[in-house]
Amino acid sequence: MNYISLDDHKKAWVFRHKDLPVSDEDAARIKPMTSERAAVLWSTMVSREFDHPDFFDKTDWCGKEESFSDEVNWEEAWENGDESLPQAILAHLDWQANTTVYFCMARDNVIETTFDVFKRNWQNFMFLADGSLLIGKKRNTVVQFLESGIAKLGEKPSA
């Protein structure tokens, strides 16, 4: 088994927030990974060395300044209740709606969904922005959402 029920996820409340309702259809497509599956994905796509974004350093792509080319304020759009992610983030990612995405918070905490579900519910995910990385399956573009309200736009090395 690769996933746990959304209801069993330790931060499931972000998807039940009364001011930011998530449709039942979208909730069914927000799939937290088991800690074992999350660890495999994290080690493969994020870092073999570090368990959380707080500890990234220059030994991993995600800790290198040159991996990130620009910064965007996501918090302003979030505070304004904007339905869509800031345009600069959407333009940077340029992913199809059905792209499988991974919202990577820590080695044992990764949520899988599709880009269209993420875009519709991005405000809910931002409650979890603590250096979290949004990575697309078979995509090199990446966004790191910082608790400060800044999103770092970047590229991860090709696998």
Closest CA to 158 of 63, 91, 61: 61
CA distance 157 to 141: 9
> Which DSSP category does 131 fall into?
S
Confidence of residue 153 (pLDDT cuts 50, 70, 90): very high
> Which DSSP category does 149 fall into?
S
Other C-beta atoms within 10 Å of 93: how many?
Answer: 21
Residue 159 has pLDDT above 90, yes or no: no
Mean of pLDDT values over 132-145: 97
Q: Do you know the residue count of the chain?
A: 159
Q: What integer pLDDT is reported at residue 158 of this predicted model?
A: 73
Q: What integer pLDDT is reported at residue 1 of this predicted model?
A: 77
Q: What integer pLDDT is reported at residue 132 of this predicted model?
A: 97
CA distance 116 to 139: 15
User: For residue 110, what are the CA distances in angstroms to 82, 113, 125?
Assistant: 25, 10, 12
Confidence of residue 42 (pLDDT cuts 50, 70, 90): very high
Q: 129: helix, coil or strand?
A: coil
pLDDT in tens, 54-89: 999 888 899 999 999 999 999 999 999 899 999 999
Tokens for 116? Answer: 């269209």
Mean confidence (pLDDT) of the chain = 94
Q: In what order do the strands lie in the sheet with 109-114?
A: 31-32, 109-114, 100-106, 132-136, 141-145, 150-155, 68-73
User: For residue 60, what are the CA distances in angstroms to 42, 136, 144?
Assistant: 12, 18, 14
